[in-house]
Amino acid sequence: MKSLARILGFDTLGDSYAYRDDPVLGYTSARRSAERWVKSTCGYCSVGCGLELGVRGREIVAVKGWDKHPVSLGKLCPKGLSEHQMISAPNRAKYPLLRGRGGKLAHVGWDEAIGTLVDRFTAVQKQNGPGALGVISTGQLLTEEFYALGKLIQLGFGTRNYCGNTTLCMASAVSGYKRSFGSDGPPGAYEDFRVADVTLLIGANIADNHPILCQHVEANKAGFLIVADPRVTKTAMMASLHLPLKPRSDIALLNGMAHVLFREGLVREDFAAAHANGLEELRSFILARYPVERAAALTGLSAETIADVARRYGRARAGMIAWTMGVNHSTQGAETVSAIANLSLLTGHIGRPGASPFSITGQCNAMGTREAGFTSSLPGYRKFEKKEDREELAALWGIEPARIPDARGLAYPDIINAAADGEVRAMWIIATNPAVSYPNQEQLRRAFRSLDFLVVQDGFHPTPTSEYAHLVLPAAIWGEKEGTFTNSERRAGKVNSAVPPPGEARSDFDIFLAVADRLGRRDELFPGWFKPVDAFNEWRRVSRGRLCDYSGMTYETIEAEGGLQWPYSDGFHGSPASRLYSTARFQFEDGRARLFTVDCEPFPDQPDDVFPMILNTGRTVEHWHTRTKTAQVAILERMAPNAWLEMNSSDARALTLSSHDRVDIVSRRGRVRDVELRVTEITAPGQVFMPFHFFETNGNEVTQDAFDPISREPNFKQCAVRVERSARKQGNTLHGTD
């Protein structure tokens, strides 16, 4: 209730709207005045922006960009600028909750929570075998936590069925790098955006998804930017040339470019022959199968355009190809990455400033789990199948080599399918929200319903996923814990704790240590570990001499430099190498890269008369992933409060639909209801697009659970749908829409 003084206007809340000349921020709202500032690395995407958190008491009251930070140059995106608001969200998970007999989640102590977790997991494993426990983690934890969790799961619980949501994200890049270069690891650096003559962004909408990278691209005044995307994205508008190719025709584009390179003598034969295997096979494959005219037919681009792009890239002093989910989210994702690597290798555009194939990662620390996480490879990019790698690791850890698995376990989708089939009986989901992000939600629900025991560990509760949990573990989040994140360009950034977590929440690191303790394995797995730095120091030893070498880094030097790029070996001084493969020596035994013949296949869920349109999904700048965090930030919700479906005006006319009509999107698997339609020219006829952030209107009700056979990444980007006017009609006309 308003006081009388406010109703009459004597009180205008002058105090809470006061300004102050702040010693750090300058003249600004007094609400932002901090007592101390804590440097950190942003916890949303993988760009890895540097920022500072302003703390007053136990509250983060402001965020500011870290001036002169090598990545972000003092800038932050709208999510970063409001990141502090997310920490004090009302739906933070504060207490361990256990589902009791009545089916209700009830507050329990940590002892009981950890005890129940260990008892139930080990009981399930005892009865059904160690693999009956599936663990799905994330790209959101700290490297120290990933390193600890990997050991805990693989060695402590002894299950190989451990994967992360990075499989919904970067797995294709990982697999592609391994296939082509012999190891994971993005070869390029952000500086390449600034200095490349020609940059081809393929399936990457950085203006929405990695906005702070745009300043590096824009700084490249002499460069020629090509954006290949079926949609006229904000990024396409930045381009010198936009290639509006057909969905999933990127391999045809890349092969068509290769054809022009071969045909016109633009292949650097000396480089390719000296440093890669498979040149002649590739040459004959491309010349026979992918004449540029065929590529033109497959992509919908003109042969002249493809030839122009190929010539520009082939003749460039330094050419860069960078990609994101448009490439990865595909049943041919890993192969597409190989096709990109082919072009780099054919032209020698690798390992030099401006010359690189470069995956722009999704999550803030997807790189950390790739390097240290023990999911799709052994820590330090070691290979499960390689005996020497297992032995080396066992020696470092002082354990029997036989305890290290010689093959990776089930990948994320295979864990879900195994759960639906009753083979995986218990699951631990950490800092991810599959009830929004997993393709074909019906299959996920089948899996959840089949489980005997589901633990969800998250900073927030309830989330659509934690609603299914038998046990909810409240975790500290970014801003409340210390460690490192590694960004897309292999730069480890320091992450610091500014405030304590709410309620009884604990850092994931502490939770993992407590679980190990209860398992009776703490001393073996985490000897002498108390703080994240203990894990980091062990990780430095374990990564020493590997491609992803952290051995020369310390928390202090990382923070002082605004992040350090690996490889950064012990005793390394001076400016760090910012690119891989500058000597063109690749990570295979013979030091040579591999060229692959990659066929362009149609995507699996082709449109027909019943489902005539192709649905593409993606992101919008205001939101992060499944909106667990950004839905809590009022300004971001204000700017993008709901999902929408973009449809070309010609299709809308045929369906007699108009902007702001409510539509359902129907596929062979499900239906998304009541989505706001946007009639537009930014999507092609026959294609529709919607953002994937919104649980309320979840595009993954209709997406297909088809996976890349190599990377196991889902084919999120194309599926066949039809669009119908929603039964519930509202708000589409000029009349009274308030």
Please report, as residue ranges, which positions from 678 to 707 form the binding site for another protein (by CB under 8 A).
Answer: 678, 680-685
Residue matched to tokens 């971001």: 636
Spatial contact of 603 and 248, defined as CB atoms under 8 Å apart? yes
Q: Which CB atom, from 541 or from 660, has the smaller least distance to another protein?
A: 660
Minimal distance in Å, beta carbon 11 to another protein?
8
Chain residues 318-347 in contact with another protein, contact rule CB under 8 A: none
Q: Categorise residue 311: left if φ over 0, alpha if ψ from -120 to 50, beta otherwise.
A: alpha
Over the window 167 to 186, marking each residue x when it contacts another protein by CB under 8 A and - when it does not, the resulting string is --------------------
Minimal distance in Å, beta carbon 91 to another protein?
16
Minimal distance in Å, beta carbon 260 to another protein?
21
Minimal distance in Å, beta carbon 236 to another protein?
9
What is the amino acid identity at position 128?
A: N
Minimal distance in Å, beta carbon 683 to another protein?
7
Chain residues 352-411 in contact with another protein, contact rule CB under 8 A: none
Beta bridge partners of 365: none
Chain residues 65-124 in contact with another protein, contact rule CB under 8 A: 67, 74-78, 81-82
Q: Which stretch binds another protein (CB under 8 A): 13-21, 147-155, 186-194, 586-594?
A: 13-21
Quick one: which of 34, 42, 45, 62 contacts another protein (CB under 8 A)? 62
Minimal distance in Å, beta carbon 212 to another protein?
6
Minimal distance in Å, beta carbon 302 to another protein?
12
Minimal distance in Å, beta carbon 501 to another protein?
24
Residue matched to tokens 């010693």: 23
Task: Give dist(CA 496, CA 667) in Å, integer.
Answer: 44
Minimal distance in Å, beta carbon 638 to another protein?
4
Q: Which CB atom, from 26 or from 571, has the smaller least distance to another protein?
A: 26
- Least Cα distance to 242 among 204, 186, 276 occurs for 204
Q: Which CB atom, from 538 or from 622, has the smaller least distance to another protein?
A: 622
Chain residues 248-287 in contact with another protein, contact rule CB under 8 A: none
Q: Any idea what DSSP says for residue 365?
A: T
Quick one: which of 3, 575, 583, 737 contacts another protein (CB under 8 A)? 737
Which are the contacts of 362, defined by CB distance < 8 A and separation ≥ 6?
45, 46, 139, 166, 169, 170, 324, 325
Q: Tokens for 644, please give them.
A: 């929408």
Q: Which CB atom, from 245 or from 416, has the smaller least distance to another protein?
A: 245
Q: Which CB atom, from 344 or from 648, has the smaller least distance to another protein?
A: 648
Minimal distance in Å, beta carbon 256 to another protein?
18
Q: Which stretch binds another protein (CB under 8 A): 153-161, 286-294, 677-685, 697-705?
A: 677-685
Beta bridge partners of 248: none
Q: Tokens for 342, please give them.
A: 């082919």
Quick one: which of 191, 517, 637, 696 contacts another protein (CB under 8 A)? 637
Task: Give dist(CA 190, CA 75) in Å, integer.
Answer: 15
Quick one: which of 1, 13, 407, 727 contacts another protein (CB under 8 A)? 13
Q: Which CB atom, from 6 or from 449, has the smaller least distance to another protein?
A: 6
| 241 is a contact residue toward another protein (CB under 8 A) | no
Q: Counting every residue, how long is the chain?
A: 738
Is the omega angle on the peptide bond into residue 604 within 30 degrees of 0, that is, cis? Answer: no
303-315 vs 250-263: helix axis angle to the nearest 10? 60
Q: Which CB atom, from 604 or from 686, has the smaller least distance to another protein?
A: 686
| 574 is a contact residue toward another protein (CB under 8 A) | no
Minimal distance in Å, beta carbon 671 to another protein?
22
| 734 is a contact residue toward another protein (CB under 8 A) | yes
Minimal distance in Å, beta carbon 34 to another protein?
13
- Least Cα distance to 405 among 379, 425, 429, 428 occurs for 379
Q: Any idea what DSSP says for residue 157?
A: I
Angle subtended at Cα 522 by Cα 519 and Cα 373, rounded to the nearest 5 degrees: 95
Chain residues 481-540 in contact with another protein, contact rule CB under 8 A: none
Q: Which CB atom, from 583 or from 737, has the smaller least distance to another protein?
A: 737
Minimal distance in Å, beta carbon 200 to another protein?
17
Strand order across the 453-458 sheet? 105-107, 97-99, 471-474, 453-458, 426-430, 133-137, 162-164
Minimal distance in Å, beta carbon 300 to another protein?
9
Q: Which CB atom, from 10 or from 727, has the smaller least distance to another protein?
A: 10
- One-letter-per-residue 3-state SS of 508-557: HHHHHHHHHHHHCCHHHHCCCCCCHHHHHHHHHHHHCCCCCCCCCCCHHH
Task: Give dist(CA 281, CA 384) in Å, integer.
Answer: 29
Q: Which stretch binds another protein (CB under 8 A): 21-29, 106-114, 279-287, 555-563?
A: 21-29
Spatial contact of 336 and 176, defined as CB atoms under 8 Å apart? yes
| 9 is a contact residue toward another protein (CB under 8 A) | yes
Q: Tokens for 538, please give them.
A: 């062990």
Question: Alpha helices of 432-507 — where are they, by DSSP H?
Answer: 434-437, 441-450
Q: Which CB atom, from 269 or from 681, has the smaller least distance to another protein?
A: 681
Chain residues 188-227 in contact with another protein, contact rule CB under 8 A: 207, 211-212, 214-215, 218
Chain residues 638-667 in contact with another protein, contact rule CB under 8 A: 638-642, 644, 648, 659-660
Minimal distance in Å, beta carbon 733 to another protein?
8
Q: Which CB atom, from 3 or from 575, has the smaller least distance to another protein?
A: 3
DSSP string, 564-609: EESP--TT--SSPP--S-TT---SSTTS-EE------PPPSS---S
Q: Which CB atom, from 556 or from 738, has the smaller least distance to another protein?
A: 738
Minimal distance in Å, beta carbon 369 to another protein?
27
Q: Tokens for 462, please give them.
A: 């309830």
Q: Which CB atom, from 579 or from 678, has the smaller least distance to another protein?
A: 678
DSSP string, 384-445: TT-HHHHHHHHHHHTS-GGGS-SS----HHHHHHHHHTTS--EEEEES--HHHHSSSHHHHH
Minimal distance in Å, beta carbon 12 to another protein?
5
- One-letter-per-residue 3-state SS of 178-215: HHHHCCCCCCCCCHHHHHCCEEEEECCCHHHHCHHHHH
Q: Which CB atom, from 235 or from 356, has the smaller least distance to another protein?
A: 235
Q: Which CB atom, from 2 or from 104, has the smaller least distance to another protein?
A: 2
Task: Give dist(CA 391, CA 276) in Å, integer.
Answer: 29
Question: Is residue 654 packed enough to be buried (19+ CB in 10 Å), middle (13-18) or exposed (0-12)?
Answer: exposed
Q: Which CB atom, from 62 or from 519, has the smaller least distance to another protein?
A: 62
Q: Which CB atom, from 122 or from 649, has the smaller least distance to another protein?
A: 649
Minimal distance in Å, beta carbon 73 to another protein?
8
Number of residues that bind another protein (CB under 8 A): 72
| 723 is a contact residue toward another protein (CB under 8 A) | no
Chain residues 588-627 in contact with another protein, contact rule CB under 8 A: 621-622
Task: Give dist(CA 354, CA 316) in Å, integer.
Answer: 10
Task: Give dist(CA 515, CA 527) in Å, integer.
Answer: 14
Chain residues 140-169 in contact with another protein, contact rule CB under 8 A: none
Quick one: which of 26, 102, 103, 571 contacts another protein (CB under 8 A)? 26
Quick one: which of 1, 3, 14, 101 contacts another protein (CB under 8 A)? 14
Which are the contacts of 525, defined by CB distance < 8 A and separation ≥ 6?
148, 151, 152, 155, 156, 516
